[in-house]
Amino acid sequence: MSVRLGFIGTGDLGADHVRRCANIISGATVSALYNRTQSRAEDVARQFAPEARVTATPEELIESPQVDAVVISSASQTHEDLVLKAIQAGKYVFCEKPLATTAEGCVRILHAESAAGKRLVQVGFVRVYDEGYLNLKSLIDTKAIGSVLMAHAAHRNPTSGPHYTREMLMSETLIHDVNTFHWLLGESFTAAQVLYPRSTSKADATLQDPQLVILETESGVLIDVEVFVNCQFGYDVQCALIGESGEVRLPEPARATVRRNGQNHTAITMGCKERFEAAYDRELQAFVDGVAAGKLTGPDSWAGYVASATTDACIRAQKSGKREDIRLIPQPDVYR
């Protein structure tokens, strides 16, 4: 039986998820759409899912008997409320990161899901479905380089939008790298520090872009992450882990090399949708398969909480200029 999906938020990424579930993902049907600007949802429905119903409110979509599971790609500040309503309705829900805009919001979701007695939420941390990162994970888990001692990463975007704030470098961008290392290393973080190098002239000075984040893990691994959201040259993610007997490094995406006019060059992707296109396919397929089986396997609400608690500490470090401790609540049994 096909899983009937309702989509809340049909902006750039949300519309791409509708397209993906209508044309690529097996076992799924696009049943309903909601967007704050209704005409946008209607346009997306006409393009990808003509039989889908456009609802007047997100609550109408969540409560619809024609919707088995909900996909949330709306603005970050709406996530907590919508996820809680989906849990209350007993619906499985896929929520793009962040799970909530604060760790406190994530805790409310943890409590609601625990009260439901089962996992209902998958968080959109797409890198865990990328072949390169999966290869890194396999090498780390099999101790190919021994115990990991330190790691280096970079998260670069060509430009940031006009409403992008300094805090969003942590809560919207760094949060992916936080989850990546939580997953790769299988441990949480104990402290964070943020350093400010010379700012680029390509962004508003108040953004203070780029920034360098230092994270400490429970076992003492040190991680530095460069966050640069106005690098100009493309969308670029880098990751390297140094162990006792070697180094593992994230491979570059497979791209043809062009040799002409005295030059030898390889194209760089300009956005996350292009860079992680295949991973997005795997991510939504895993969600649909999990709903059909009655058991989700992707990143859970605990992963969303750890990521938000860590980025909250990074925002405190941005403001204080000091090393900030990270303290987590005990992990609820439903996530063990």
For 106-144, write each residue's pLDDT tens digit: 999 999 999 999 999 999 999 999 999 999 999 999 999
49: which 2 tokens?
């899912």
Q: What is the mean pLDDT of the chain?
A: 97
Q: In this structure, are 121 and 193 located in the same domain? A: no
The amino acid at 87: I
Domain limits for position 207: 128-275
DSSP-assigned letter for residue 65 = T
Q: In this structure, are 69 and 135 located in the same domain? A: no
Find out whether 8 and 89 touch, Cβ atoms under 8 Å.
Answer: no
Residue finishing a domain among 275, 297, 327 = 275
What was the pLDDT predicted at 255? 85
Q: Which residues pair with 34 in a beta bridge?
A: 8
Q: What CATH number is given to the structural domain containing 155?
A: 3.30.360.10
Q: In this structure, are 121 and 136 located in the same domain? A: no
Q: In this structure, are 122 and 201 located in the same domain? A: no
- The Cα–Cα gap between 58 and 42 comes to 14
Q: In this structure, are 283 and 270 located in the same domain? A: no
In a domain, 318, yes or no: no
- The Cα–Cα gap between 335 and 188 comes to 14
What was the pLDDT predicted at 155? 98
Residues 6+ apart with CB under 8 A from 258: 264, 265, 266, 267
In a domain, 199, yes or no: yes
Q: In this structure, are 238 and 218 located in the same domain? A: yes
In a domain, 160, yes or no: yes
Q: In this structure, are 45 and 87 located in the same domain? A: yes
Number of domains in the chain: 2
Q: In this structure, are 199 and 186 located in the same domain? A: yes
Asked whether the whole model's pTM tops 0.75, one would answer yes
- The Cα–Cα gap between 30 and 18 comes to 7
Residue finishing a domain among 252, 275, 298 = 275
**How confident is residue 1, by pLDDT bands cut at 50, 70 and 90?**
confident
Q: What CATH number is given to the structural domain containing 44?
A: 3.40.50.720
Q: In this structure, are 134 and 79 located in the same domain? A: no
Q: Coil, helix or strand for 213?
A: strand
- The Cα–Cα gap between 126 and 301 comes to 14
What was the pLDDT predicted at 92? 98
Q: Where are the beta strands (DSSP E) in 74-141?
A: 92-96, 121-124
**How confident is residue 161, by pLDDT bands cut at 50, 70 and 90?**
confident
Residue 272 pLDDT > 90: yes
In a domain, 161, yes or no: yes
Q: In this structure, are 282 and 165 located in the same domain? A: no
- Phi, psi (degrees; rounded to nearest 5) at 17: -70, -40
In a domain, 314, yes or no: no
Region 57-71: mean pLDDT is: 98
Q: Where are the beta strands (DSSP E) in 121-253?
A: 121-124, 148-156, 189-195, 211-217, 222-228, 236-243, 247-249
Q: In this structure, are 177 and 232 located in the same domain? A: yes
- The Cα–Cα gap between 189 and 212 comes to 16
Starting at the edge strand that comes first in sequence, how are the strands of the sheet with 92-96 ordered? 53-54, 28-34, 3-8, 69-72, 92-96, 121-124
In a domain, 324, yes or no: no
Q: In this structure, are 191 and 249 located in the same domain? A: yes
- Phi, psi (degrees; rounded to nearest 5) at 104: -60, -40
**213-256 pLDDT, tens per residue?**
999 999 999 999 999 999 999 999 999 999 999 999 999 988 88
Residue 205 pLDDT > 90: no
